[in-house]
Amino acid sequence: KPTITIYTKKLNEVVYDKIRKKGLQVKFACISKNENSFTSRIKNLNYLNNILARQEAREAGFDEAIFLNTKGFVAEAATSNIFMIKNGKVFTPPPTSGLLPGITRHAVIGIIKKYTKNKLYEKNVTPTILLNADELFLTNSGFEIIPVVKVGNTKIGKGKPGPFTKFIHALYKTEVENV
């Protein structure tokens, strides 16, 4: 018979609020995501590549790693999904890029469509396009929405959390509280 184990702990909002004010510094991972792999789109217990990519990033002085897929397009971060803002348009990689489509990603897509006039595109993004973003943010259920201020040696936008990211996080908090 299957055994189900659930582990919970209270999120440390103070820590995440500090990170949100400062933003994350990320780097591209040396490991690629295989967009053709069935397991890339399901939640499972095989996170070795994610762990290795994040460890590599941390050893290099970064907070997180961004995966490219085997075609060279942005897929996701080691622990989260990624969104990019450029000229008022919002971009996020499509599920076909090899990402794990997260619950928070889904919620953020819904919030953007419901509450903003910004166009949202699920499309392949190259590293060069990502580096030229006005804003970047990561999403996951643990930390919700966290801005990215630097990718490798490149500042994103002005090198500090942007207004759209802050706005989306405020909308997300309101939506979650009303559920």
Task: Specify the pLDDT at position 44.
Answer: 65
φ, ψ dihedrals at 174, nearest 5°? -65, -45
What integer pLDDT is reported at residue 34 of this predicted model? 80
- Mean pLDDT score, 64-81: 96
pLDDT confidence tier of residue 38, bands split at 50, 70 and 90: low
Residue 9 has pLDDT above 90, yes or no: no
Contact (Cβ atoms closer than 8 angstroms) between residue 165 and residue 147: yes
| Residue among 144, 177, 149, 163 nearest 13 (CA) | 144
**Quick one: DSSP state of residue 156?**
P
The candidate with the shortest Cα–Cα distance to 78, out of 39, 32, 36, 109, is 32
| 52: pLDDT strictly greater than 90 | yes
Which amino acid, residue 95?
A: P
Q: Looking at the predicted structure, is the pLDDT value of residue 8 above 80?
A: no
Residue 42 banded pLDDT, cuts 50, 70, 90: low
pLDDT score at 172: 95
Q: Which of 177, 128, 137, 171 is nearest to 26 (CA)?
A: 137
Write phi, then psi, for 87 (nearest 5 degrees): 50, 40
**For residues 98 and 159, what is the distance between their CA atoms, to the nearest angstrom?**
28
More confident residue, 125 or 11: 125
Q: Which of 9, 10, 22, 43 is catalytic?
A: 43
Q: Which two tokens stand for residue 166?
A: 């802050």
43 classed as catalytic: yes
Q: What is the pLDDT of residue 2?
A: 79
pLDDT at 13 (0 to 100)? 76
